[in-house]
Amino acid sequence: MTSRTSRRVGPAALERRRAKITAEIAALGLPLPGSLVERRTRCGNTGCRCHADPPQLHGPYWTWTRKVDNKTVTRTLDTAQADALQPLLDNSRRLRELTTELETLALQQVKDDPTQPDP
């Protein structure tokens, strides 16, 4: 018995995991590309509250950045806009995680197939 067969998960277990992942993908809301960044800043006025101890920084200022045709596109958002987009951006992150899990299962299937090369 080779190490390859001893690590075998079994096609039924693989299929159960695949079905679970694809069910979660099917239930996922729309995935918005990009990421949300929160910034709090200090201004140039030394008398301002942002220079106090403890400092009360300005903001939060939100930016949503994403790649469009290999260029970074940035949009400034208010807090309400950022709150509305956050769940859609979370969907996108979760979708990437689930896709990676599916790829891991596919690699396992290839690994378990003696007619395929060890990946």
> Can you give the binding site for Zn ion, defined by CB under 5 A?
43, 48, 50
Closest to Zn ion by CB, 54 vs 117, is 54
Q: With the CA atoms of 87, 27, 103 and 64 taken in that order, what torsion angle do they form, in degrees rounded to the nearest 10?
A: -20
How would you classify residue 110: left for phi > 0, otherwise alpha for psi between -120 and 50, otherwise beta?
Answer: alpha
Beta bridge partners of 64: 36, 75
Are 60 and 40 in contact by the 8 Å Cβ rule? The answer is: yes
Closest to Zn ion by CB, 13 vs 43, is 43
Closest to Zn ion by CB, 48 vs 85, is 48
Q: Is 33 helix (H, G, I), strand (E, B) or coil?
A: coil
Please report how close the Cβ of residue 74 comes to Zn ion at its closest, in angstroms.
23
Please report how close the Cβ of residue 58 comes to Zn ion at its closest, in angstroms.
5
Please report how close the Cβ of residue 52 comes to Zn ion at its closest, in angstroms.
9
Task: Report residue 94 as tokens.
Answer: 């979760």
Beta bridge partners of 68: 71
Closest to Zn ion by CB, 42 vs 94, is 42
Look up tokens 């290999």; give the residue: 70
Please report how close the Cβ of residue 36 comes to Zn ion at its closest, in angstroms.
23
